[in-house]
């Protein structure tokens, strides 16, 4: 399978880049928007040559099962306020076996005075007990779920995309956060292209493992997002052949 993994600090524009890659002029959306067919004509943008192949995109987020567990088991209200973000960070790190210190103290030190899972009612300890009763912590917990969802989607596409067996399928992942996700997919034999969205003058990174683990990662492509949506869209369209290429860039990073 082919993966396009998109990384960046919160607010950098990861979802916007994923939207641009997942959509385009004259694309055909199938199965209630589940995936998109891109033909030669639909990717022939102004001032660039048409790609020589047709392809399919399917957007799948690592955070989807995380949000499901947070809502169904831990009572998250769906709001991404301070408390909601803290809960999602805790859940992702806890089941992903990233906590190396006392789990409560670990987050208290990162959010001094702002921690909203009250120690008075021991909410955190209740969350921990619920999770321990249902799941085993696993360094690859979230990426394994992702891969299963992609395999299911691959079957779905094969069963419903008549006469499109020769089309390439790209799974676009808008929330790539850990090196282990990349190395696991590569070890499983998949093609992985990594993109980093940079918006350095407009975002301040959170001091969390999931936000900083990829700071020293060697990406295939760096995308500067400083000049608005139109400029970002143009950059991606002009470099679409490099983004979709299955050839590795090796140690070279393309900056656009």
Question: Chain centroid to CA 250: how far?
Answer: 22
Phi, psi of 138 (to 5 degrees): -155, 130
Average pLDDT over residues 22-26: 69
Start-to-end CA span in the chain (Å):
25
Residue pLDDT, tens place only, 89-141: 888 988 998 876 555 555 554 443 344 444 444 566 678 888 889 999 999 99
pLDDT of residue 179 exceeding 90, the answer is: yes
Q: Give pTM, 2 decimals.
A: 0.84
Question: Are the beta carbons of 7 and 177 closer than 8 angstroms?
Answer: yes
Instruction: Say how far apart CA 182 and CA 192 lie, in whole Å.
Output: 7
Number of C-beta neighbours around residue 79 at 10 A = 10
């Amino acid at each position: 399978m082919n993966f396009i993994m998109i990384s960046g600090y919160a607010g950098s524009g990861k979802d916007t880049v994923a939207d641009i890659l997942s959509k385009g002029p004259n694309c055909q959306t199938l199965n209630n928007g589940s995936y998109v067919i891109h033909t030669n004509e639909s990717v022939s943008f102004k001032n660039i040559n048409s790609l020589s192949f047709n392809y399919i995109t399917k957007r799948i987020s690592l955070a989807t099962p995380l949000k499901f567990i947070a809502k169904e088991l831990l009572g998250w209200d769906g709001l991404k306020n301070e408390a909601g973000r803290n809960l999602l960070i805790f859940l992702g790190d806890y089941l992903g076996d990233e906590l190396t210190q006392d789990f409560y103290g670990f987050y208290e030190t990162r959010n001094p005075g702002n921690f909203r899972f009250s120690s008075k009612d021991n909410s955190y300890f209740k969350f921990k007990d619920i999770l321990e009763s249902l799941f085993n912590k696993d360094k690859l917990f979230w990426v394994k779920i992702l891969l299963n969802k992609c395999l299911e989607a691959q079957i779905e596409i094969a069963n419903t995309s008549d006469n499109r067996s020769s089309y390439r399928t790209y799974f676009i992942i808008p929330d790539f956060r850990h090196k282990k996700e990349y190395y696991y997919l590569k070890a499983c034999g998949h093609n992985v292209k990594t993109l980093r969205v940079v918006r350095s003058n407009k975002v301040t990174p959170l001091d969390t493992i999931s936000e900083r683990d990829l700071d020293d990662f060697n990406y295939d492509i760096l995308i500067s997002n400083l000049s608005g949506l139109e400029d970002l869209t143009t950059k991606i369209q002009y470099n679409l052949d490099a983004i979709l290429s299955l050839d590795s860039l090796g140690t070279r990073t393309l900056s656009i």
